[in-house]
Amino acid sequence: MDRKCKIMLVDDELNFREIMAKFFQRRKIDFETAGSCLEGLDLLGQGCFDVVVMDVSMPGLDGIECMAEMKKVQPDLEVIILTGHASLNVGINGMKKGAFDYCLKPVDFDELLEKIVLAKEKAAAKDY
């Protein structure tokens, strides 16, 4: 994979975005954050992203609806959804609608990192 792409985090909770920014920075992961689906769609139009990590529960368009809109722009985009409802059904429903995987909030950072790596590898394989 020749192109250098980023991870996008879409979550309406500022504190969570700040915690995740530290997590990504410590691991030297190139990333952008968005506080809403509309911000995420705007970022997607401006840059190259391999993986989007997105909260399901957000005002306006929720994470599942937002994922559908993002996939209209970039069909091969890999999305990992986050749900704070401790609900397997939400995660499974998201995967049925095209998400790569899901994580429950509070997030297990090691689990999320592993899923990001796998999703990024899948995205890179599509480039060939």
Model confidence, pTM: 0.90
Residue range 8-53, pLDDT digits in tens: 999 999 999 999 999 999 999 999 999 999 999 999 999 889 999 9
Q: Where are the domains of the chain?
A: 6-125
pLDDT score, position 110: 92
Segment 84-100 shows an average pLDDT of 79
For the domain 6-125, what is the CATH superfamily, name and number? Response regulator (3.40.50.2300)
Secondary structure class of 7 (helix, strand, coil): strand
Please give the mean pLDDT across all residues of the chain.
Answer: 88
**Residue with tokens 């559908």, as numbered in its chain:** 68
What is the C-alpha separation between 81 and 53, in angstroms, rounded?
6
> Residue 82: enclosing H or E segment and its boundaries?
strand 78-83
Say which DSSP state 75 is in: T
Residues 23, 53, 27: CA angle, nearest 5 degrees: 25
> Would you say residue 84 has pLDDT above 80?
no
